[in-house]
Amino acid sequence: MRWRVRGARFARGRTNGSAPTWFGADSAKWLATKVTRDPQGLRICLQAMGVSVSMLASGSRGNCALVASSSTRILVDAGISCRETFKRLKTLGEDPHSLSAVLITHEHCDHVYGLATLAKKLRIPIFMTGATHQAWSRALRDENGERPRLEKFERFESGHTFQVGDIAVKPFTIPHDAADPVGFTFRAEGIKVGIATDLGYIPVSVKDHLRGCDVLIVESNHDLEMLRVGPYPWSVKQRVMSRVGHLSNVALADFFTSDYDNSATFVVLAHLSEQNNHPEIARREAERALATRGGLFMNRVLLASQTEALEPIRL
């Protein structure tokens, strides 16, 4: 990302030649003053405008992300405890009570572990597909068979765009062994963010949805050799490697070399296995694949972590 002035207009644009977002001359003059006189004020200003993406946690022990615009904040998945979610939001300077909604990709525990408590404390809309909601509530039945109730449950359908504040959300079907799993794209203020994890392979439909992303969060779950010789039972290994399992480093590299459009300023490798992968192996495979098409110079590769929040990506 770079800031630049052209004539009387101030532009915030990507270095890959795509159209910048422009600000008026008064804004340019004010921001230039902030750069020279008050760097801290500039940082606060930039946090208050534009689109940002934060990975709070990513991996088999819990997944959670934040997609925010100037006026809307969406939590994607609630796979860590409510307390830990609040803690990590606060480390990023975010107020948990400013969240607008929670979106759930699917009902597996590492994506919904903290959802019930989070929903009770925040009382904000919780978005799921009908099948995902049924599977989640069935799994949380008490000894009397009573299912948990969400005060503000909102149902969506894969393939149908809906709006949360000023963010347009497009859910799309992904191949995973859950009731009705989805990925998402988010559009706000001329920026597109894509999230696709927990998928056994990348079908054509998913590739289409991920085109034109400014930020791409995508699974790089396992190294095939580490998985083969690792501690998992054979049945679990088969499930992970199946077409409704998880995406390997090699499968992601194949996508980068053949079907990826090099549009993203940031590529975030997510849902890395702690047992069957290593961050530097995943990074090396991704960067090598991007380099074959010249994409490494257009994409900054980042790694989402299980144990700590990734610094916000601001666009």
Distance from chain centroid for Cα 302 = 12
Domain residue extents for the chain: 49-314
- Residue 158's pLDDT is what? 98
Residue with tokens 């996508």: 255
Closest CA to 254 of 223, 277, 286, 279: 286
Residue range 218-233, pLDDT digits in tens: 999 999 999 999 999 9
Strand ranges (DSSP E) for the chain? 2-6, 9-13, 21-23, 52-57, 64-68, 73-76, 101-103, 126-128, 153-155, 162-164, 167-173, 182-188, 191-196, 215-219, 266-270, 300-303, 313-314
Closest CA to 12 of 275, 239, 314: 314
Torsional sign, CA 153, 156, 158, 163: negative
Closest CA to 20 of 273, 191, 197: 191
Distance from chain centroid for Cα 44 = 23
Q: What's the full length of the chain, in residues? A: 315
Q: Are 181 and 201 in contact (CB under 8 A)?
A: no
- Residue 8's pLDDT is what? 32
Alpha-carbon distance of 263 to 247, in angstroms, equals 21
Residues 6+ apart with CB under 8 A from 66: 52, 53, 54, 56, 73, 74, 75, 76, 89, 92, 94, 312
CATH topology of domain 49-314: Metallo-beta-lactamase; Chain A (3.60.15)
Rg (CA), the chain: 20
Number of neighbouring beta carbons within 10 Å of residue 46: 15
3-state secondary structure 75-92: EECCCCCHHHHHHHHHHC
Using CA atoms in the order 102, 104, 108, 110, what is the torsion angle rounded to 10 degrees? -50
Which parts of the chain register pLDDT below 70? 1-49, 295-297
- Residue 307's pLDDT is what? 97
- Residue 169's pLDDT is what? 98
Q: Are 266 and 215 in contact (CB under 8 A)?
A: yes
Alpha-carbon distance of 164 to 101, in angstroms, equals 7
